[in-house]
């Protein structure tokens, strides 16, 4: 029998049920191939009604975490093969220990760097003046938030808004859809925000350098821009490892 779910706080009953089953799957307590108990029994275990349980199961199915098989009931899928990048925030949130979380953050930042290289390659082909102004305005908003002593949540949102403006300049729905779930981790992980924005002015400086580059994009300078991102990511991992700030 699974552990009893935690109290619901501000989450709906469906959210709480979904989150509990998600945690069990991601942690491996519900192993790949495990058959879930019948609905009536599982609903009783989780102290929810069957309508709530079915709604949670529908979400898990849509996320690629379970599948209903005729004659076999509902079975846990291998999310590594069946789910998409939208599960990344959940993986980080439900990491079983600090080392796991650090490895996941390392992989997350690596993916962001790789995707950033693709974005810069696209930008090297040229950017419209309107797009440059949009990026510059977003950077100014970020700088203002920092100067006003905004909390990390607001600073993170302002920084992600710059990222969004850059993606708008690329005008690639594919790149945006690939990066959205990765950036969403920042919104949903307080420890990661604290590590990333321990020194927020570094982000402003990096974006200002990008703005300068956008005025006359040069593919030869992409390596230099990526090196600066590498340095910021290394600082993030160091802060996370040290438990800063």
Listed in sequence order, the residues at least 6 apart from 12 whose beta carbon sits closer than 8 Å to its beta carbon are none
Q: What is the pLDDT of residue 10?
A: 41
Q: What is the domain extent for residue 177?
A: 86-242
Gap between the Cα atoms of 171 and 184, Å rounded: 19
Asked whether the bond before 245 is cis by omega within 30 degrees of 0, the reply is yes
> Is the same domain home to 162 and 180?
yes
Q: How many structural domains does the chain have?
A: 2
- Each residue of 15-56: pLDDT tens digit? 999 989 998 998 889 999 999 999 999 999 999 999 999 999
Question: Would you say residue 1 lies in a domain?
Answer: no
Question: Would you say residue 113 lies in a domain?
Answer: yes
Query: CA quadruple 149, 194, 135, 181: dihedral positive or negative?
Result: negative
> Is the same domain home to 26 and 105?
no
**Confidence band for 2, pLDDT divided at 50, 70 and 90:** low
Crossing angle, helix 222-242 and helix 201-215, to 10 degrees?
170
> Is the same domain home to 38 and 126?
no
Question: Would you say residue 161 lies in a domain?
Answer: yes
Please count the helices (runs of H) and the strands (runs of E) in the chain.
Answer: 12, 2
Mean of the per-residue pLDDT values of the chain: 88
Question: Would you say residue 38 lies in a domain?
Answer: yes
> Is the same domain home to 100 and 214?
yes
Domain CATH number, residue 68: 1.10.10.10
- Each residue of 86-128: pLDDT tens digit? 787 778 777 777 788 788 889 989 999 999 999 999 999 989 9
Q: What is the pLDDT of residue 84?
A: 80
Question: Would you say residue 2 lies in a domain?
Answer: no
Judged by DSSP in three states, 227 sits in helix
**What pTM value is reported for the model?**
0.75
> Is the same domain home to 97 and 216?
yes
Query: CA quadruple 162, 165, 167, 173: dihedral positive or negative?
Result: positive
> Is the same domain home to 43 and 163?
no
Q: What is the pLDDT of residue 134?
A: 97
Question: Would you say residue 8 lies in a domain?
Answer: no
- Each residue of 184-238: pLDDT tens digit? 888 878 888 899 999 999 999 999 999 999 999 999 999 999 999 999 999 999 9
> Is the same domain home to 29 and 96?
no
Q: What is the pLDDT of residue 243?
A: 66
> Is the same domain home to 224 and 133?
yes
């Amino acid at each position: 029998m699974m552990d009893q779910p935690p109290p619901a706080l501000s989450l709906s009953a469906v959210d709480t049920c979904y989150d509990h089953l998600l945690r069990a799957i991601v942690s491996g307590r519900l192993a790949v191939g495990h058959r879930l108990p019948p609905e009536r029994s599982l609903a009783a275990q989780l102290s929810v009604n069957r309508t709530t349980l079915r709604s949670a199961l529908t979400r898990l199915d849509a996320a690629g975490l379970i599948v209903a098989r005729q004659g076999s009931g509902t079975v846990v899928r291998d999310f590594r093969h069946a789910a998409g990048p939208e599960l990344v925030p959940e993986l980080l949130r439900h990491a079983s220990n600090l080392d796991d979380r650090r490895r996941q953050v390392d992989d997350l930042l690596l993916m962001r760097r790789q995707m950033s290289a693709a974005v810069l390659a696209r930008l090297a082909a040229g950017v419209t003046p309107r797009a440059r102004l949009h990026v510059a305005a977003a950077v100014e908003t970020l700088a203002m938030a920092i100067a006003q002593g905004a909390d990390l949540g607001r600073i993170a949102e302002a920084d992600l808004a710059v990222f969004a403006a850059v993606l708008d300049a690329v005008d690639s729905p594919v790149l945006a859809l690939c990066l959205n779930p990765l950036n969403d981790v920042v919104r949903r992980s307080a420890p990661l925000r604290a590590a990333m924005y321990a020194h927020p002015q570094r982000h402003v400086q990096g974006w200002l350098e990008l703005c300068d580059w956008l005025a006359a994009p040069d593919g030869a300078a992409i390596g230099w821009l990526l090196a600066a991102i590498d340095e910021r990511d290394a600082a993030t991992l160091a802060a996370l490892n040290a438990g800063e700030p």
